[in-house]
């Protein structure tokens, strides 16, 4: 691995979902501690990758303030996070052909580790696996993943021709290493899927700010 774990990694912020449990709209644009969740996610992801893009659908102008390339799904029908992974791979092949990896970050989890990509890269290098995802508290978080771009054709076939929608159904075909991240002190992958989750995130953030840890 390069001494710089960000080298050769295209980061993809996944914001293409329908946010049904938040009542629709863009949960990533919800305010948390005075700024949007998306802004917080961007701040954490940007130093970990060489290039950062945003995967989103609909009117792309609503994300203009974030100063990122905004890329809609290359397939129709809101096919879930695998569509975002596929879209990120397609973007990387066209715009960053030197980059062998994409790293994905859902835009509803504002506390993910600042060494996420470095840890995933180290794990794939050590284990010789094809791809990696994060885990915590005994649960995998496959949307936080490190994906080799050479799997694009296989993923395209799975999503478009086979109708695969679950990440774990597709990743089971390859050698996957799961990297566990312990609570510190909260689950670093706490995500905001509902108004109650957002309220909990506000409490977490307030406590971490007071502790000088966020």
pLDDT, tens only, 78-95: 889 999 999 999 999 999
Task: Please write the tens of the pLDDT for every residue from 25-79.
Answer: 689 999 999 999 999 999 999 999 999 999 999 999 999 999 999 999 999 888 8
Going by pLDDT thresholds of 50, 70 and 90, the confidence category of residue 19 is very low
208 — pLDDT class (breaks 50, 70, 90): low
Mean model confidence pLDDT for the chain: 92
Q: What angle do CA 44, 93, 54 make, to 5 degrees?
A: 35
Q: Taking the model in full, what pTM does it have?
A: 0.92
| Burial (CB count within 10 angstroms: exposed 0-12, middle 13-18, buried 19+), residue 65 | exposed
Q: Among 196, 150, 151, which Cα is nearest to 171's?
A: 151
State the DSSP code for 22.
G
22, 60 in Cβ contact below 8 A? Answer: no
Instruction: Please state the domain extents for the chain.
Output: 9-211
What is the secondary structure of 112-151 as a DSSP string? --TTHHHHHHHHHHHHT-SEEEEEETTEEEEEEEEEEGGG
Q: How far is CA 175 from the centre of its chain?
A: 20
Q: Which residues of 76-103 are buried (b: 16+ CB within 10 A; e: fewer)?
A: eeebbbbbbbbbbbbbbeeebeebebbb
Residue 78 is predicted with a pLDDT of 81
CA distance 44 to 179: 18
With cut-offs at 50, 70 and 90, classify the pLDDT of residue 207. Answer: confident
Calculate the alpha carbon distances from 172 to 23, 31, 167 in Å: 32, 36, 9
> Residue 15 in contact with residue 61, Cβ under 8 Å?
no
* pLDDT tens-digit series, residues 113-172: 999 999 999 999 998 999 999 999 999 999 999 999 999 999 999 999 999 999 999 999
- Is 9-211 CATH 3.90.550.10? yes
- Give the tens place of pLDDT for each residue, 26-37: 899 999 999 999
pLDDT value for 23: 47
pLDDT score of 185: 86
């Amino acid at each position: 691995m390069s001494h710089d774990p960000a080298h050769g990694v295209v980061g993809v912020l996944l914001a293409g979902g329908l946010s049904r449990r938040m009542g629709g709209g863009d949960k990533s644009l919800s305010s948390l501690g005075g700024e949007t969740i998306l802004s917080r996610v961007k701040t954490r992801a940007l130093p970990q990758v060489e290039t950062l893009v945003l995967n989103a659908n609909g009117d792309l102008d609503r994300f203009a303030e974030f100063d990122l390339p905004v890329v809609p799904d290359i397939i129709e029908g809101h096919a879930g996070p695998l569509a975002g992974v596929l879209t990120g791979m397609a973007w990387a092949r066209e715009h960053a052909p030197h980059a062998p990896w994409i790293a994905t970050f859902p835009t509803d989890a504002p506390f993910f580790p600042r060494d996420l990509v470095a840890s995933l890269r180290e794990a794939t290098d050590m284990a010789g696996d094809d791809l990696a995802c994060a885990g915590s508290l005994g649960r995998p978080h496959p949307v936080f993943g490190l994906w080799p771009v050479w799997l694009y054709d296989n993923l395209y076939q799975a999503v478009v021709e086979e109708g695969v929608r679950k990440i774990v159904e597709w990743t089971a075909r390859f050698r996957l290493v799961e990297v566990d991240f312990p609570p510190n002190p909260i689950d670093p992958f706490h995500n905001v899927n509902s108004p109650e989750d957002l309220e909990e995130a506000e409490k977490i953030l307030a406590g971490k700010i007071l502790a000088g840890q966020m």
